Amino acid sequence: MQLKSRLPPQFYVTPKYDEHLNTQISQNDVIKTHRRNYSYQSETQFSILKFQFCQLIGQGQFSKVMLVKNSGKSYALKLLDKVQIQKCNLNQQVQREIDNQSKLKHENIVQLFTHFQDNQKIYLVTEYCEKGSLYQKQFTKSKIKDIIKQIITAIQYIHQMGIMHRDIKPENIYLTQDDIVKIGDFGCSIQKGQRRKTFCGTPEYMSPEIILSSSNMIQYGGYDEKVDIWAIGILLFELCNNTVPFRDINRDKQQDRICREEIVFKKDEDPLYVDFVQRCLYKDPNQRANLEQLRQHPYLQF
């Protein structure tokens, strides 16, 4: 049985800003709550007191994202619940997200402008991408190629900055009003250097070496930034087929398929597309194409 799509791990909506939207949170309530919980925060351009809350645009297990305005400009404000972060032992992960995204300044990466906190929440002020994420959107073949080229450029920069993303997928990639592709959501990102064994990412996008390393199998002695190249291949396949290549309701069986099965393409697929995906999805990460080889691949040449 082929599963035609997958459910995201969190709820997303992608509205455009509307001057007449009813705010879901009273501005007075926000101000009162913030003053009650205020611990330490300088009254800067991005004080929570200066935001106009407009609409909920994303929600996760311990966070939500609001479309807000400040001095006439739109931003995405991510609110992280400190109690839930502590309960799930995610303090270091949140700090890594802030540290890594703060240092990245690139056209194809969602910019983190600043962050602050009160007694209950951590606030991340990021760039707002009007067209939302790529999740369950359909694009022309030429547009998909353009998206992949921009993603490769962004990942090249991320790796050059000493970071691997580890969670490249449609939900974490956004489009601006001008169709500029932006990679965001650095919650799984980590410094390059030593090989990792942490089980991290989205199941359908995990590479074989992530699965094997977490099972204490030392075939590769852990994994490195080549997991992001694997994710590019899965992403391209999903954008073209509205499903990922290795699916199973049973997670153990799905992981086994990722590690053992070869990808199956339609009979009439473009040979250049097939070659590109295959170069990303070698089970052995040492055989995968590097980012520059992918960027120069004939499939992406218009």
Radius of gyration for the alpha carbons in the chain, expressed in angstroms and rounded:
20
Q: Among 16-25, 191-200, 260-269, whose mean pLDDT is lowest?
A: 16-25
pLDDT value of position 147: 98
Split at pLDDT 50, 70, 90, the class of 268 is very high
* 167 is an active site residue: yes
Answer whether 84's CB lies under 8 Å from 110's CB.
no
Backbone angles phi, psi at 125, to 5 degrees: -100, 115
Decide: pTM greater than 0.95.
no
Q: Whole-angstrom Cα distance, residue 30 to residue 52?
A: 10
Indicate the Cα dihedral angle 46, 47, 49, 54, nearest 10°.
30
pLDDT at 21: 38
Q: What are phi and psi of 12, to 5 degrees?
A: -130, 140
Catalytic residue among 81, 99, 146, 167: 167
- CA distance linking residue 280 with residue 236, whole number of Å: 10
pLDDT of residue 197: 78
Neighbours of 134 (CB within 10 A): 23
Supply the pLDDT for residue 30: 47
Tens digits of residue pLDDT in 221-262: 789 999 999 999 999 999 999 999 999 989 999 999 999 999
**What tokens appear for 298 in the block?**
């004939």
Contact 123, 79 (CB under 8 A): yes
Q: CA–CA separation, 98 vs 95, rounded Å? A: 5
Q: Do 174 and 182 touch, CB atoms closer than 8 A?
A: yes
Identify the CA nearest to 23 among candidates 52, 60, 65: 52
Provide φ and ψ at 158, rounded to 5°: -60, -45
Q: Where along the chain do its domains lie?
A: 11-127, 141-300
Could you tell me which residue, 80 or 196, shows the higher pLDDT? Answer: 80
More confident residue, 49 or 171: 171
42-72 pLDDT tens trace:
434 556 667 889 999 988 878 899 999 988 8
Q: Which fold has domain 141-300?
A: Transferase(Phosphotransferase); domain 1 (1.10.510)
Handedness of CA 203, 278, 179, 188 (dihedral sign): positive
Amino acid occupying residue 217: M
Q: State residue 85's pLDDT score.
A: 92
pLDDT at 88: 87
Please, are residues 11 and 79 in contact by the beta-carbon 8 Å criterion? Answer: no
CB atoms under 10 Å from CB of 223, counted, come to: 25
Give me 200's structure tokens: 């991290």
Contact 94, 85 (CB under 8 A): yes
Could you tell me which residues are annotated as the binding site for ATP? Answer: 78, 171-172, 185
Assigned CATH class of 11-127: alpha beta
